[in-house]
Amino acid sequence: MIVRVWRGRVASQNERAYIEHLTRRVFPAFRTIDGFLGGSLLKEQHADSVEFMVMTRWASMDAIRKFAGADVTKAVVEPAAEAILLNFDRVVKHYELATEISRAGN
């Protein structure tokens, strides 16, 4: 499994707008891509902004290419999101899952 990690920051007043963009537009589009396994949105509150970390899980780099194109390191940011982001990673990181734990004991 490959975990794709990207970060972006919005002004505090745009927190809800970014979450809605991701949950209503981006994540549903991911569900249509073969090899997409899931995703998480983490956030860290700062004095006047919110930093988000998007972590998506994919079966392979080929599955990621279906979404990101040939250059999988280039961030894919829709214009609607870019309009409210203060800054964001232009380069995406990919990690191979080494091990995992859950309450169920997996």
Q: What is the pLDDT of residues 11-66, one digit of tens each?
A: 999 999 999 999 999 999 999 999 999 999 999 999 999 999 999 999 999 999 99
Q: Is the pLDDT of residue 103 over 90?
A: no
Q: CATH number for the domain including 31?
A: 3.30.70.100
Domain span including residue 71 = 2-96
Residue 106 lies in a domain: no
The token pair at 3 is: 């975990």
Domain count, the chain: 1
Distance of alpha carbon 95 from alpha carbon 57, whole angstroms: 10
Pair 62, 30: CB distance under 8 Å: no
101 within domain boundaries: no
**The predicted structure's pLDDT at residue 105:** 63
Q: Which residues contact 59 (CB under 8 A, 6 or more apart)?
A: 1, 2, 35, 36, 37
The pTM for the full model equals: 0.90
Confidence band for 104, pLDDT divided at 50, 70 and 90: confident
